[in-house]
Chain A
Amino acid sequence: MSAINNNCEYISKKQIEITFDGKTYKAYEGDTIASALLRNNIRLVGRSFKYHRPRGIYTCGIEEPNALVQIISEHNEPNTRATIKRVYDGIEITSQNRWPSLTYDFGAINNILSPIFSAGFYYKTFMGPKGFWKNLYEPLIRRSAGLGKPPKNFRSKSTHQYHNNDVVIIGAGLSGLAAAKKFINTKYKVLLIEQDSYLGGVLKNSNKVKTINDLTPRKWISETEKLILNSKNITILKNTLVTTYNFTNHLIALEDKFAGKKIELNKSELTLHKIRTSNTIIANGHIERFISFRNNDLPGVMLASSFEKYIHRYGVVPEKEPVIFTNNSSSLSLLKKLISLGCKPNAYVDSRKKDNIETEIKKILKDNEISFFSDAEIEGCDGNKKVETITIRQGKSFKKLQSSMLCVSGGYNPDIHLFTQSKGLVKWDKNILSFKPDTPFQKTITLGSTSGNYNFKKLCDEINEKLSIFKTKKVSLDINLNVPNKFSITELWETKKKNNSNWSKSFVDLHNDVTTKDLKQAITEGFDRIEHLKRYTTNSMGTDQGKISSINSLAIVSKMLKKEISEVGTTTYRPPYAPLSFAAIAGRSTYEFYDPERKTSIHSWHLKNNAVFENVGQWKRPWYFKASENETMHQAVQRESKMLRENAGILDGSTLGKIEIKGRDALEFMNLMYTNAFSKMKPMTSRYAMMLGEDGMIKDDGIICKISDQHFIATTTSSGAPKVLADMEEYLQTEWPHLQVFLNSITEQFSTFNISGPKTREIMMKVFPDIDFSNDAFPFMTFKNFDYKKTKIRIMRASFTGELGYEIYVPPKFGLELWQEIFSCGKEYNLIPYGTETMHLLRAEKGYIVIGQETDGTVTPIDLNYNWMIGKNKKDFIGKRSLTRPDTSREDRKQLVGLLPINKKDIIEEGQHIVELNELPKKITNPIKYLGHVSSGYHSPNLNHSIGLAMIKGGKNLFGQKFFVTATGKTKNIPVEIVNPVFIDPENKRLTS
């Protein structure tokens, strides 16, 4: 066996070196991995998915089921189809799914064990004992079944590009180019997309067309390309594969920017094109299919048109004397080409009856003395990791031939993948024995072999007719052929086996190792609907999506079910057409670019002062500040909490959402949106308020500042701000358009500081000597505006810690300056910065709730005992009616309570259950009565024991009672007392001091 080189204009004469499984080979610039390996007579390139059977190169394009390799020199890129990946000097490639080596693969034992790996084996085997799946079977299967290993240390540099077009032509083969030619210098904006780096399709890949308009195909392509390039309205994208056809003519295409070149690390290797078009022309041709026979997966079996493509497109004849096995008229061009190169096929096996075979074929075979078997088929082939012997069946007689390659043609399928993705309907065509496009769902036109037209002479009329909806000129194509003009085919999906053995398999899906026997078994077991059968057998579910085999399996199944193929139907074609890398989809949106980071004006100060940050929505908030390198989070939070209640602390609250509500009807609007009544509220005062959903459940809370009846400022939770604003907008636009109200997000217009603690007043008086902070002049829940340096600030008396506190609103430009000023003034009072964790601890001590912690979308204000917040006299507000629904007024709803450990050393953990049992049984057999859960649990440094807030069924009436809280890793529960959820200063003396 040996390959020979053929002159080819697409392959440069420049020799390069590539490495495959550690060995270095010579290749030419322009080669794919597959063509380079074939040139070096390497046939074995991988091991199969399930049985680890030796596999070779089966095709010459995107449809490849076998030859998947890993590119070590490109971030370890796995599952690369060797048939399309172009090589460059120094490329490093390894085979996949084998151990210890490709030739000696331990996993091949699966082939012997294959009876247990038949259809549905995942569902039937590995059922027990319990725990074995997770710990043993799954890791084992994942290691032995499979594909390549994922890339390491990888960072995508892919980019996305957007297009808006009038017409997109998919495929620049004969039909695509002819169609594009019609649009030259027209008003239409056209995009022509070709997956290869050269235009021409069938003209470039095969010997089928002799001349076109009296030019050689090569000449016609280059002249046409020149005309298209000179036309300003047409853009050509090469090395670009359309993977997805969505609704409203939205296409996704992937461009390989480094096809055949070494990737430059600082440049984008892939571009994902997102294309919106008015019309789509699909001209992406056809895909040859195989025929199932015994050992049809041995390295050396190859599709006939792929063999022909290697000669034409890549200048390599994989084998001088292959056997050709066909059921149709198209293999004539391969035969002619081989003879013209001085190669002589070993045999020509045609399953058609002798009378149906074209005279031209018969004459060539006779003239060149090539063994000819008509009305015959390949029974199977044998060999050790390669084809060695081929058995031909003609009637009842068998003949064995020695040959190392077998070219198979089972006919052609129009490539309807994209058409069906677009939701077009397909129809079975008896003349070509395949599905072809019928009714488009969108503005989609299919041309040439994609549309099921295999007649070159009719192509010109088809194009002119189908594109007559556009204002374009007619094209003329005068085509001379090397194949019969009329396509002739006979039905043949699977050949009969002489005898059965576990070694000999007749595959219908090479990628997922599905045999024809699996199909039979699935049907016997009742999976006779094609969609069920597909999932049960995993047929056509591999990375190749069964491109060369799915129609075969439909046909085989229909024969077994004794139904028409059109009755059996096809499975759904889903995007993508071919695998596309996650890197392309992710584009630049990875790591720190995945989501914007929002930082406050004080961020640089936080960094300098050893803040540890917490993500709150997109915001970076200080979680706690490390006083020393070794301080743990627990230590820091305990320290901060204690210091604040003794002296004072300051929190950067700039992330709190702030919404300005202005307009004639602002008061009425606020009364409708929030539970509280704002009518009697005095101007320049503020109030803690709640927003509900129509179902009566708490959505958000915040402080509402009333400047006047026409002007409010609402604060929201840090992460809830966008949603609150959106909800307000929605009601204004849809339910109450008569209200004259304007909303504006002012979150980023203010830096906000919450300063609180017993020494706060002294500090504030030092920072703002002109302001009277006395209780009479500046009472709790009021606010005032002041001039500060060159700007204006607002100070509000409010607190979330339960201590005397103020909130300062300052334009961010002056934020850091003021923050630093406060610190220099606060130094003598031991002012500390504190983070969100301390804030949460302090508010829990005071029994204040946090949205999303105590509430979870099933909690009403009544459940929290916040009845005082509900404006009962208001006629209506969002959610009011729901508060009196039978379910929301149930007595045994979960209600907010406090938890005190009876043994002061016990720790109450957040998220634990509250139960009646003091100890859990070792083995839990019956459900244990559950009363509620701990929503917040902290160690209070000011009380020196653990405290908890909990939501307990009927909790309001349980104060003083004893229950138990479960604990991590223990069966013994913690005894707790249910108390009023305010642990510190229940009289609010500190708050209003």
Chain B
Amino acid sequence: MILIKCPYCGERDQSEFANGGEAHVIRPKNPESLSDKDWGEYVFYRNNPKGIFYERWVHSHGCKKWFNAVRNTSTDQILKVYKVNEKRPDLSDFENTLKSPSGEPLVGSGNFAVKK
């Protein structure tokens, strides 16, 4: 169970939170003006990268506030949390800290627990 820092309440157990998928996917202002394809992209398509990911979380068993987080999906490290109305941090802020738990390659998985 990871520890997540709610921007309103502070550090709490993961069990108090719910994940809301990719962040910064904005609901189109005029859905009617969108083509079927573009609307379909908004409704159904989300990124799911291995590595740095902007995602939404809600402190559902706490203050019930939504916020955004930058998480390294391969290590589960939450690198930054910020409020919904705050500007998203730049990717370059994190790239240096990206590391894989077992030194595994960025694509695919496998058990590379042994250091070569």
Contacts and interface: CB of A to CB of B under 8 A. Distances in A.
A769 to B, nearest CB: 44
B39 A569 contact: no
A734 B55 CA distance: 13
Most buried by A among B2, B112, B114: B114
Most buried by B among A428, A566, A733, A885: A733
Nearest to B68: A734
Contact of A571 (B34, B56, B76, B111): B111
Contacts of B58: 726, 730
Nearest to A572: B111
Contacts of B3: 247-248, 250, 276
Nearest to B65: A733
A578 interface: no
Contact of A566 (B40, B103, B111, B116): B116
A556 B48 CA distance: 40
B114 A426 contact: yes
Contacts of A247: 1-3, 76
A751 interface: no
A443 B39 CA distance: 45
B89 interface: no
B103 A425 contact: yes
Interface string A226-256: 0000000000000000000011101000000
A688 interface: no
A217 B98 CA distance: 46
A737 B65 CA distance: 12
A983 interface: no
A439 B115 contact: yes
Given A441-B101, A726-B60, A427 B32 contact: no
A880 B27 CA distance: 13
A306 B113 CA distance: 29
A67 B3 CA distance: 39
A531 interface: yes
Interface string B31-44: 11010100110111
A461 interface: no
A573 B2 CA distance: 19
A292 interface: no
A569 B111 contact: yes
A81 to B, nearest CB: 26
Interface in B49-69: 56, 58, 60, 64-66
Nearest to A568: B114
Interface in A397-439: 420, 423, 425-428, 435, 438-439
A875 interface: yes
Contacts of A694: 27, 42-43
A556 to B, nearest CB: 17
A72 B20 CA distance: 48
A530 B34 CA distance: 52
Nearest to A696: B43
Contacts, number: 89
Most buried by A among B65, B76, B112, B115: B115
B39 A881 contact: yes
B19 interface: no
A425 B113 CA distance: 5
A881 B66 contact: no
Interface in B80-109: 84-85, 101-103
A246 B77 CA distance: 12
Nearest to B44: A695
Nearest to A885: B36
Contacts of A882: 39, 43
A872 to B, nearest CB: 11
Contact of B114 (A441, A566, A885): A566
Nearest to A735: B27
A570 interface: yes
Nearest to A441: B101
Interface in B1-28: 1-3, 13, 20, 26-27
B84 A569 contact: no
A248 B44 CA distance: 32
Contacts of B32: 875-876, 880-881
B102 A570 contact: no
A726 B59 CA distance: 11
Contacts of A876: 30-32
B31 A880 contact: yes
Interface string A678-697: 00000000000000001100
A438 B36 CA distance: 53
Contacts of A572: 111, 113
Nearest to B32: A881
Contacts of A735: 26-27
A246 B84 contact: no
Contacts of B20: 730
A442 B31 CA distance: 46
A248 B84 CA distance: 24
A762 interface: no
Contacts of A726: 58, 60, 64
Given A734-B56, A881-B34, A425 B2 contact: no
Most buried by B among A250, A729, A880, A881: A881
Contacts of B115: 425-427, 438-439
A332 B66 CA distance: 63
A570 B40 contact: no
B8 to A, nearest CB: 11
Interface in A279-315: none
A822 to B, nearest CB: 37
B85 A737 contact: yes
Interface string A548-578: 0000000000000000001001111100000
A427 B113 CA distance: 9
Most buried by B among A250, A530, A573: A250
6 smallest beta-carbon distances between A and B, as pairs: A881-B31, A423-B101, A248-B3, A425-B115, A247-B2, A733-B66
10 contacts: A248-B3, A423-B75, A425-B102, A425-B114, A426-B113, A427-B114, A441-B101, A569-B111, A734-B56, A875-B32
Given A426-B115, A734-B84, 16 more contacts: A247-B2, A423-B101, A425-B113, A435-B114, A569-B113, A570-B111, A571-B111, A694-B42, A729-B66, A733-B65, A733-B66, A734-B56, A737-B84, A880-B31, A880-B32, A885-B40
